[in-house]
Amino acid sequence: MLHSCNRSCFWLTSPALAALCLFFMNPISADESLSSIRQSVEAAISRIQSSKPPSVSSGRLQNGRLDHAAELPKPSGVGYRIIHPDRDTNFGADRMVFGLMRLGVVMHEKLGDEPHSQLHINEISDRDGGKQLRHINHQMGLDVDIVFYCTDLSGTPQRSRWVSFDERGLSEDGDLRFDAARNWIMIDAILSSETFRKIRSLLIADALKKQLLDHAMSLHEAAEGDKAERLREGIKRAMELLRQPASSPHDNHLHLSLQHE
């Protein structure tokens, strides 16, 4: 047991205890730690930018190409994890990849970096874009699939899984619940991103869209001033961009699609 600690720590013979003593003498604040994390991610983005020409997305949604792609670091980074790093589909347009890296930082700041708090990212595009076996689009580095946050039935956060949720927000086996609160934090962060910029759509099942908007509206009712106004604008954009496509219900993941620039 530690009874006292002086600046020299001469009485400590264990290197680990000595390090602990130094930590308490010079503690790192939470703000300093988060600032350091943000700086490290920005440095990583700068390294990617300096290693290649700017990315170029060309063609159409179902007949596209990607040149000079940015690679999302795998298998994981701050606040995110790639589900299938072996597929090499972690390539995208610059603003998609850099936007995801910065989104991971935001989620880390708001939720922490436990496995159940991380973004679980499925696929973006191949290195050169083009057709994929598992997708109609995802050809220009402007599309990504993100798995929903979920809880167990008691409300305890669980690690994101690729499972479908019904109109009640329950998984097919009845063991998991769609986490409207954390999924709204993710949606709000996406809509607020200056990196993603022009968003084409956020594809999601209608029933899950309703849960998200109901939760956001409850937050708006309890908010005041600038916070209430910001929520009002976020809800308005979410109502415009969240939609269920005719081809697939998107009840097991969010599909973020960016516009051409």
Tally of domains in the chain: 1
pLDDT tens-place string over residues 60-72: 877 899 999 999 9
Q: Which of 212, 208, 186 is nearest to 119 (CA)?
A: 186
Residue 186: inside a domain: yes
219: pLDDT strictly greater than 60 = yes
Residue 199: inside a domain: yes
pLDDT at 29: 63
Q: Which of 173, 128, 134 is nearest to 152 (CA)?
A: 173
Residue 10: inside a domain: no
3-state helix, strand, coil in the chain (%, to 5): 40, 20, 40
Residue 13: inside a domain: no
Where residue 168 sits, what CATH number does that domain have?
3.30.1380.10
Confidence of residue 20 (pLDDT cuts 50, 70, 90): very low
Residue 100: inside a domain: yes
Residue 12: inside a domain: no
Q: Which helix (H) or strand (E) holds 203?
A: strand 199-203
Q: How far apart are CA 192 and CA 190, in angstroms?
A: 5
124: pLDDT strictly greater than 70 = yes
Residue 9: inside a domain: no
Q: Which domain holds residue 247?
A: 37-258
Residue 26: inside a domain: no
pLDDT tens-place string over residues 126-160: 999 867 877 778 899 999 999 999 999 999 999 99
